[in-house]
Structure 1
Amino acid sequence: MERHLSDADMQQYQDNGFVAGLTAFSEEDAAELRKQVETLEQTHATGADGFDLGQFFRVNGHLVIPLLSDVAKTPAIMDQVAAILGPDLLVWSVELFIKEPGTQSVVSWHQDITYWGMGETDEELTAWIALSDVSVEAGCMRFIPGSHKNKIVPHEDTFSEDNLLSRGQEIAGIDESQAQHGPLKPGQMSFHHGRTFHASSPNNSDDRRIGLAIRYVTPGVHQSAQGRDYAMLVRGKDSENGWIHVAGPSRLFDPQDLALYREVLTHQSTTLAAGAEGSVDMYQAEGAS
């Protein structure tokens, strides 16, 4: 049964900082998207321009992979995002999160927006779309209701090998008894605020856990750390002129798109690594949400 954003869902998002079980695609369309992702893994595992495919899946793949750019422009997704953020939407990032069966790595409690350089904004959200059965057993996300009402709280950089976040960052003192799971069937999605405390567990299922995260922002969001950041205008207009607009890829791994990818990576790496005492990678091999 399809479930699109209702007034009650919008209220839950405002009150709790997340809402799950929304419909992005039919199960059939989700299966087709999964097939296309796995075909890319089979045919382009080595990636391009010195980066393997995992790099593009986990960082700004929408700049060089048309499939990811196209998903971010899906009307059924944007309609629901616009109900919360308004009519003018940009896509800051599109990322694939894949955990193999039996994966024991964890993602610690964190706030997404901590190292994005956007400040304390409320004008962003992540749409997280399941392309497989993202059950509790498979390690679906867990959320702390209402935690988005906090400001950005201190995170400790652990750089732990078992932590899939770029800095192994974690929030201490979380009361796990307050956590709520957000399981998703293929084609379903959740929305969460960038300040919402969330984490995910190991994949103890017998299937891959495949999710796709789209980071939407409004023109009112400004990159505060390194000047103007890069984003793809997907609906409405950017009257603020606070972003460097990217058009999306012309074809898979086009040389001009790959050059832009390197430019954006350099810009965003500086922001992500700000204040870190260790070396910060832009991605880990498996999903961080």
Structure 2
Amino acid sequence: MLDTVEITHTTTADQITDEAVQLYRSQGFIRVRGVLSPEEVERFREAALRLSERMQSLHKGSVFTQLVNAWREDEVLRELTLYPKLARIAEALAGVPLRLWHDQVLIKQPQKSTATEFHQDQPYWPHARSAHSLSAWVALCDVPVERGCMTFIPGSHTRTELAAQNLEDPRSLFSLCPDLEWDARVTLPLRAGDCTFHHSRCAHMANPNVTHEPRVAYVIIYMDADTIYTGQPHVVTDPLALSPGQTLEGELFPRVGERR
């Protein structure tokens, strides 16, 4: 099973091969090497760690520190959230126009974190008409298995009927879909600057961080450009006074990936 696209930080989205696109669409995830240069990694990691000192974590448990919509709080991280190459790769993989849904800094604290159990992302979101949503998960440090890299269940993105799962409960996903427990799993360690893209319905998990260094990841989540708000509660949309049926658009949900 091919799981890696070898590129460098100078590679363009046009160089993502048809084979890589088909692999992503068949298994629901792909690893892309070397999206960021070492200098970019250092700059963005330091900005993420500084932000974690002044911004309150959305998640209160020991799974991770979660900072949502960092691009609205920090000009350096805004550059990463709106990084054109990442967006263009995402659009090449999805095959449809995309908007930003939100970003998040996810830090697994050293020797204190617990596992992020298997779950799908999309059931948490107040989205309709967004069948192609996906996340770019950028490693801002080396992420071996011991520091909390990602494990995916190939093909699980085809399970579109499942309700939201509890990412702190190791049985949550498998109680909803017992057959997934016996499917193959692919674990993808990342070097700093590497990235995975995964479909919003692709089941994934991450180990606890048992090392002495924080695991710093930056996630940029993209949704179909014509996604509709369902009215389901969510921290991003709750303050916006939206009505169910509205298209998620405007300055908070900008179009991405367009060639200008």
TM-score normalised by length of structure 2 = 0.75
Deviates more, 1:78-87 or 1:169-178: 169-178
1:200-236 Cα deviation digits (max 9, x unpaired): 1111223211100001112122122359x86xxxxxx
Percentage of matched positions with identical amino acids: 26
1:170 maps to 172
1:74 maps to 83
1:221 maps to 227
Contact kept in structure 2, 1:18 and 1:191, CA below 8 Å = yes
Tell me which amino acid in the other structure corresponds to 1:171. L
- Could you tell me how far apart the structure 1 residues matched to 2:37 and 2:83 are? 13
Deviates more, 1:65-74 or 1:109-118: 65-74
Secondary structure at the residue paired with 1:76?
Answer: helix
- Could you tell me how far apart the structure 2 residues matched to 1:189 and 1:156 are? 24
Question: Does 2:123 align with 1:110?
Answer: no
- CA RMSD between the two structures: 2.9
Contact kept in structure 2, 1:131 and 1:186, CA below 8 Å = yes
What is the CA-CA distance between 1:32 and the residue it aligns to? 1.8
Identify which of 25, 31, 38 aligns with 1:14: 25
What is the CA-CA distance between 1:96 and the residue it aligns to? 0.5
1:39-63 Cα deviation digits (max 9, x unpaired): 344xxx344xxxx3x3495222223
Contact kept in structure 1, 2:134 and 2:222, CA below 8 Å = yes
Tell me which amino acid in the other structure corresponds to 1:77. L
- Could you tell me how far apart the structure 2 residues matched to 1:64 and 1:169 are? 36
2:256 maps to none
1:243 maps to 248
Contact kept in structure 2, 1:31 and 1:186, CA below 8 Å = no
- Could you tell me how far apart the structure 1 residues matched to 2:222 and 2:164 are? 23
1:11-33 Cα deviation digits (max 9, x unpaired): 11101000013432112210121
What is the CA-CA distance between 1:66 and the residue it aligns to? 2.4
1:26 maps to 37
Alignment CA distance shift 1:39-1:117 (3 Å): closer
- Could you tell me how far apart the structure 2 residues matched to 1:98 and 1:115 are? 20
2:143 maps to 134
Question: Does 2:106 align with 1:97?
Answer: yes
Question: How many correspondences in the alignment?
Answer: 223
Tell me which amino acid in the other structure corresponds to 2:247. G
Contact kept in structure 2, 1:85 and 1:124, CA below 8 Å = yes
1:190 maps to 196
Contact kept in structure 2, 1:69 and 1:94, CA below 8 Å = no
Contact kept in structure 2, 1:142 and 1:200, CA below 8 Å = yes
- Could you tell me how far apart the structure 2 residues matched to 1:68 and 1:21 are? 20
What is the CA-CA distance between 1:177 and the residue it aligns to? 6.3
Q: Which runs of 5+ in 1 are unaligned?
A: 231-240, 249-289
Alignment CA distance shift 1:156-1:216 (3 Å): closer
- Could you tell me how far apart the structure 1 residues matched to 2:146 and 2:222 are? 28
TM-score normalised by length of structure 1 = 0.68
- Could you tell me how far apart the structure 2 residues matched to 1:57 and 1:68 are? 14
Alignment CA distance shift 1:156-1:26 (3 Å): closer
1:211 maps to 217
1:220-274 Cα deviation digits (max 9, x unpaired): 22122359x86xxxxxxxxxx82241259xxxxxxxxxxxxxxxxxxxxxxxxxx
Contact kept in structure 2, 1:156 and 1:169, CA below 8 Å = no
Identify which of 24, 35, 52 aligns with 2:46: 35
Tell me which amino acid in the other structure corresponds to 2:131. D
- Could you tell me how far apart the structure 2 residues matched to 1:122 and 1:138 are? 31
Question: Does 2:68 align with 1:59?
Answer: yes
